[in-house]
């Protein structure tokens, strides 16, 4: 769905009563995983803005602008409203902000789709949201993105378990993550995998040190790597040992 088409849909007033005030941060974790504050848009029948003074309306809009979670589209329309009439202020708070919020949501989802680290499930659900309604986009950014990310994480961990090169510690922690919660899987892929890989690498390096076929230079390089960072140990096992 192109943005121009989405704008036309939104302009007809087909807006959800609750839209995000913030866009997700990514990830990539793969990162990666969304947050936002749902704010209910009032209708003409129950809108508090009809009885508010001009000063109160301006304060309400200034609070929206001051919110660091406010997107570019909402900020732009808020500034326009502040430069307008009292009717412009009320229109923005009752209607315009939600149209602008959906514009920001469209941009956020388009960025997720363009992110090369986004997984298959995330891209699938993001495309559905992009082709759907304003309510679909709100749901995706508030809930659907997190669920789709966990689906991708499950696939990634299953592949690690199936990889014959995965060590004992990596497989142990991967299985724990697979049997755990979505947060457990996120932690494993972001942090636990690196730590478990380092555990396996230490074992592999000590085997090199203990191998009677290892020369003095290789043992010295192995011990130096053993005392280094997880990245240094991995480099030694993948590259450094062969250079020695």
Q: How far is CA 132 from the centre of its chain?
A: 20
The per-residue pLDDT of the chain, averaged, comes to 84
7: left (phi over 0), alpha (psi -120 to 50) or beta: alpha
Domain-by-domain residue ranges, the chain?
3-156, 165-243
pLDDT given at position 28: 35
For range 43-63, the mean pLDDT: 85
Report for 33-42, 169-178, 229-238: range of highest mean pLDDT? 169-178
Please determine, for residue 110, whether its predicted confidence score (pLDDT) is greater than 70.
yes
pLDDT given at position 242: 84
For range 138-164, the mean pLDDT: 97
Q: What is the pTM of this model?
A: 0.71
Among 56-60, 88-92, 143-147, 208-212, the minimum mean pLDDT is found in 208-212
Report for 5-14, 63-72, 221-230: range of highest mean pLDDT? 63-72
State pLDDT tens for residues 69-84. Answer: 999 999 999 999 999 9
Please determine, for residue 46, whether its predicted confidence score (pLDDT) is greater than 80.
no
For range 157-162, the mean pLDDT: 97
State pLDDT tens for residues 174-216. Answer: 999 999 999 999 999 999 999 999 999 999 999 998 988 888 8
pLDDT given at position 8: 31
């Amino acid at each position: 769905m192109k943005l121009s088409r989405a704008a036309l849909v939104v302009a007809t007033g087909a807006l959800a009563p609750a839209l995000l005030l913030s866009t997700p941060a990514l990830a990539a974790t793969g990162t990666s995983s969304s947050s936002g504050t749902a704010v209910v848009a009032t209708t003409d029948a129950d809108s508090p803005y009809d009885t508010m003074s001009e000063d109160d309306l301006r304060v309400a809009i200034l609070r929206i602008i001051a919110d660091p979670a406010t997107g570019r589209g909402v900020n732009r329309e808020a500034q326009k409203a502040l430069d307008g009439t009292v009717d412009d202020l009320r229109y923005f708070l009752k209607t315009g902000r939600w149209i602008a919020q959906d514009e920001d949501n469209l941009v956020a989802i388009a960025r997720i789709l363009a992110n090369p680290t986004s997984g298959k499930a995330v891209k699938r659900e993001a495309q559905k949201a992009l082709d759907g309604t304003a309510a679909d986009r709100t749901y995706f950014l508030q809930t659907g993105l997190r669920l789709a990310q966990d689906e991708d994480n499950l696939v990634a961990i299953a592949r690690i378990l199936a990889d014959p090169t995965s060590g004992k510690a990596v497989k142990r922690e991967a299985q724990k993550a697979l049997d755990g919660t979505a947060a457990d899987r996120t932690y494993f892929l972001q942090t636990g995998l690196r730590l478990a890989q380092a555990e396996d690498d230490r074992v592999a390096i000590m085997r090199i040190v203990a191998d009677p076929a290892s020369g003095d230079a290789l043992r010295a390089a192995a011990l130096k790597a053993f005392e280094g960072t997880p990245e240094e140990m991995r480099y030694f096992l993948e590259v450094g040992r062969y250079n020695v």
